[in-house]
Amino acid sequence: MRFYDPDGTEYGIPTYPKRLAPDGLAAPVRPMTPGRWRAVHAMMRARRTCPDCQVTFNHVIPTSLGCCPGCADSPVALAA
Ligand SMILES: [Zn+2]
């Protein structure tokens, strides 16, 4: 089989046909496109934005609270 040389005896380093490469070696096949980065950033920003006060933080909103600590501490202010 062409290029099948897992021991590196023929080419000096282990070489594989792409579909037979061990996990990890052939992982980064799909490059991140600007569109995919936009989706990732939008998702990250959503996770950092409080659904109650709409403030975007530098850290993600605790999923256990469902809102920022400020809103979690003052639910009365929201009701007002
Ligand atoms: Zn909040």
44 alpha carbon to ligand 1 midpoint, in Å?
A: 16
Strand partners, 5: 15
pLDDT in tens, 9-22: 666 666 666 666 66
74 alpha carbon to ligand 1 midpoint, in Å?
A: 9
13 alpha carbon to ligand 1 midpoint, in Å?
A: 55
Strand partners, 15: 5
Q: Name which of 50, 30, 39 is nearest 58 in CA terms.
A: 50
Structure tokens given for 80 = 């007002």
Binned at pLDDT 50, 70 and 90, residue 67 comes out as very high
Q: Which residue has the tokens 């605790």?
A: 62
- Residue 50: CA atoms inside 13 Å, Cβ hemisphere, count? 15
pLDDT in tens, 37-54: 999 999 999 999 999 999
Q: Do residues 15 and 3 touch, judged by C-beta distance below 8 A?
A: yes
